[in-house]
Chains A and B, each alone.
Chain A
Amino acid sequence: MSVRTLPLLFLNLGGEMLYILDQRLRAQNIPGDKARKVLNDIISTMFNRKFMEELFKPQELYSKKALRTVYDRLAHASIMRLNQASMDKLYDLMTMAFKYQVLLCPRPKDVLLVTFNHLDAIKGFIQDSPTILHQVDETFQQLTETYGGLSAGEFQLIRQTLLIFFQDLHIRVSIFLKDKVQNSNGRFVLPVSGPLPWGTKVPGLIRTFNNKGEEVRKAEFKHGGSYVAAPKEGSFELYGDRVLKLGTNMYSVNRPVETHMSGASENLAAQTQESIAPNPLAKEELNLLARLIGGMEIKKPSGPEPGFRLNLFTTDEEEEQAALTRPEELSYEVINIQAAQDQQTNEELARIMGEFEILDQPRRSASKGDDLLAMMDEL
């Protein structure tokens, strides 16, 4: 589909990830300076220039599994560690939140406003770091350059591409259920009232014209909804009122967030089928991933700064329980990829992975020199 979708997908999912991490850091009473360091490290990695360059290259969307690898790296860009169960839950929440935002965008172009909402909030997290602020502003610039001139039709294609990526994901999120934006069957509520997209008139009018173009009749019909015209268009400038609330932080109030795994999707069969089918192009995807992650330039933690583990659940027992009971179909495991013939690619990946120093990982056997393939197999 559209080859310009990845930056929007990555930045919005990244934004949601930061909202969730920020909430959990506060809920777990992590000291302020540590929490700030974690967010600063992750944000500066996300908006690293080399990484952004790779991201903005026209390319097809990665598979969900491949994209998950990128966020796994990103979440570990600092002194914070996450167990697999917490990482799974984090990714579930991120994806369902952005799926909701894309689905409810009034106009396809509004997904850009959603992205700007995320960036505005991210700038709020790093107010005291002018270097990182500058990086985010540069990304803003790049977004405007890439998407500012696109037509409505091109945005519609981007929207369709994103929705295909999120197809069949129906994980129930407690905060959505409470706010009544998601039904108990996992589907999002699509309201038939409220403000219309910018450029759409209130439904209900039928106008008839004669051969000369003169209006000869005006009639009304009952359209069934309860809509109002949009008050104004959201701003696409660096600073401005976005008008749209989608993409702003819904975790501001300290609420525990649980996800429900059971009965999440009726299409488990279809999903599993796609997961099991061997992917002959996995190697090409890994090449792209290697370039992308290679651009991340994750700094080795300096000094004896002790790491800590963040838990997305309320207790350690809950986290263990979640790991044991996660349905097979919703696992983000990558299929065991056959050892690549291309020794050169492996060496490149190994070199990149070797640059990452992973601390305090009892479950993983990762050490310098392990290649990306093995790491993905362990996810």
Chain B
Amino acid sequence: MFRRERSIPLRGSAAALCNNLSVLQLPVRNLTHFGVVHGPSAQLLSAAPEGVPLAQRQLQAKEGAGVSPPLITQVHWCVLPFRVLLVLTSHRGIQMYESDGSVMVYWHALDAGDASLVQAVFARGIAASGHFICVGMWSGRVLVFDIPAKGSNIVLSEELAGHQTPVTDIATEPAQGQDCIADVVTADDSGLLCVWRSGPEFKLLTRIPGFGVPCPSVQLWQGTIAAGYGNGQVRLYEASTGTLHVQIDAHARAICALDLAPELLSAAEDTFVHIWKLSRSPEGGYVEVEHCHGECVPDTQVCGARFCDPSGSSFAVTGYDLAEILRFSSM
């Protein structure tokens, strides 16, 4: 059972995007950082354990040509071996900052090159893998940036070609040490999932087709891929083989966010947040799922949801038009 905790007020309401909440846990400093996209700006704030807001900062999308100010698509903290960077993607490019958002260390402008007149140009989907940061594009390409231990000498290392439609989300987990272990999953608007092994050269291991239903959110944990789809389904796959193991008719509207921590959190536009327990079957060792808890956030089109601690005993939620971060913790 979960109970509602004190909300954290936001300067601006959350935009109707997917994966619109990033959380950076800093247990050593007894702080949690939150990042939410409002539209042309994103808000970062840090809070103490009880949800008391301590500091906040607003970041703007870098200007460019166009009729209206550029919109931000996602904000996400990337935890790398020696540093944490905050990455912001927009319709103009990719901005990377030191983790508190104080200094921009890198700017990559999008090349609208082959985009046709009717295509929207943007970057979306952010994840850290080892000392790389992967960012998805409207074209389906995934840019891989090599990040030094400190400083701003960030280099575009590779451009992955696996998707034909706009990338929606990217998930990673630390490589398990063995040879063929998948540690990066990318998802797109057609529902296609590409499973990769990171390295100086990324290798595409397998593809899981989506049949036209978008996959807005994907997570990867201990070799299991959790994918949320536009028709409200959550599916769990074995990352190394792409085998489907669990299919949940989880929500009544499109899923907008997932988190995996060891529990699975799913949030959708139907106002519901569900928590699922994952386990391994004794016979085949494949993943199994059990529903733990469902929370209705009344009259709120949820757009972001994350666990706030490593054990999954608390989570935070953002909603379209809502100028606060809702918090829940288990009793």
Contacts and interface: CB of A to CB of B under 8 A. Distances in A.
Interface of A: 1-4, 58-63, 103, 106, 108, 151-154, 156-157, 159-160, 163-164, 167-168, 170, 183, 187-190, 192, 196-197, 199-211, 213, 217, 219, 221-225, 227, 266-267, 269-270, 281, 284-285, 288
B272 A225 contact: yes
A199 B231 CA distance: 6
Contacts of A154: 189
A160 B17 contact: yes
Interface in B263-296: 270-272, 274, 281, 284, 286, 288-291, 294, 296
B120 A153 contact: no
Given A205-B249, A267-B323, A58 B13 contact: no
Contacts of A281: 66-68
B101 interface: no
Given A157-B120, A197-B253, A199-B231, A205 B16 contact: no
B29 to A, nearest CB: 29
B106 interface: no
B252 A196 contact: yes
Contacts of A168: 13, 321
Interface stretch (B127-135, B201-209, B240-248): B240-248
Nearest to B38: A270
A63 B66 CA distance: 12
Which 5 pairs across A and B sit closest by C-beta, in order of nearness? A153-B189, A221-B291, A163-B16, A153-B214, A201-B249
Contacts of B231: 197, 199-201
A201 B12 contact: no
Contacts of B300: 190
Contacts of B320: 163, 167
A151 B189 contact: yes
A288 B91 contact: no
A108 B301 CA distance: 14
B140 to A, nearest CB: 11
A152 B253 contact: no
Given A192-B272, A223-B274, A152 B249 contact: no
B230 A152 contact: yes
Contacts of A187: 299, 321
A200 B67 contact: no
A164 B16 contact: yes
Nearest to A103: B301
Interface string B211-249: 011101000000000000011110000100101111111
Chain A interface helix/strand/loop/mixed: loop
A288 B67 CA distance: 9
Contact of B299 (A62, A188, A270): A188
A42 to B, nearest CB: 26
B118 interface: yes
B11 interface: yes
23 contacts: A1-B120, A3-B118, A108-B254, A151-B214, A153-B214, A190-B300, A197-B253, A199-B231, A206-B246, A206-B289, A207-B248, A208-B281, A209-B244, A211-B241, A213-B243, A213-B244, A217-B288, A221-B294, A222-B294, A223-B272, A270-B13, A270-B38, A288-B67
Given A197-B231, A201-B249, A225 B270 contact: yes
Given A167-B13, A207-B246, 4 more contacts: A167-B15, A208-B281, A209-B247, A281-B66
A59 B241 CA distance: 43
B232 A200 contact: yes
B253 A106 contact: yes
A337 to B, nearest CB: 14
B112 to A, nearest CB: 12
Pick from A157, A190, A201, A207 the residue with the most CB of B within 10 Å.
Answer: A190
Contacts of B252: 192, 196-197, 200, 203, 223, 225, 227
Contacts of B67: 59-60, 62, 281, 284-285, 288
A152 B253 CA distance: 13
B248 A205 contact: yes
A269 B11 CA distance: 9
B88 to A, nearest CB: 16
A156 B291 contact: no
